[in-house]
Amino acid sequence: MGLIDRIFSAVFGDGRNMIVETAQVFRENAEAAGQRGAAVQQQAMQQFAAEFAQPRRAIFDRFVDALNRLPRPFLAFGTLGLFVTAMVNPIWFASRMQGIALVPEPLWWLMGAIVSFYFGARHQVHSQQFQRSIADTVSRADEVTRNIRALDALAAGAQLAPADPVEARVDSNPALSDWQAGNDG
């Protein structure tokens, strides 16, 4: 018994577990990690509680906070509205964009600076590229007008439809005409 006692006391020490202590050098103690995680989560929750437990603010402060939340949605919905307007009434849209094309460049720079300061980290290059793309779009207004007139003429029945729609498709599609020739014979 004396030999076994000496071996166990050498391995496990005086009431300590040397194997567990050695293993903890290479592998994290799951129980201690859980306790640390719980402490971090508790501190985060206390911080959130302190942040949102502000005294009741004045009506003016709440009004200003509400106003500060409006520009992003207005710009986002306004941009979507421009896309819808361009599809619904392209001539009206093109005439409005023609007016925007007349805005002097320094005013575009000022607008770019205001927007970039408000939203943070917008670049002047993007506003210049946007202005060029608007000018390119407005320059295509005549083409759009001709296309819309042609579509209106089609809708009004100005052009006669072919007598047999299948023949019209076959004539314009070589693969379809080959397929039909293979099925006829």
pLDDT less than 70: residues of the chain: 1, 10-18, 53-54, 120-126, 158-171, 185
CA angle 164, 168, 174 (to 5 degrees): 140
Identify the pLDDT of residue 107.
92
Q: Are residues 170 and 177 in contact, defined by beta-carbon separation less than 8 angstroms? A: yes
Mind listing the pLDDT tens digit for each residue in 22-45?
Answer: 777 777 878 888 898 899 999 888
Position of tokens 């005409």? 177
Neighbour-count burial for 148-173, b at 16+ CB within 10 Å, e otherwise: eeeeeeeeeeeeeeeeeeeeeebeee
Q: Which amino acid would we find at residue 51?
A: E
Mind listing the pLDDT tens digit for each residue in 129-153?
Answer: 788 888 888 888 888 888 888 888 8
Q: Are residues 98 and 141 in contact, defined by beta-carbon separation less than 8 angstroms? A: yes
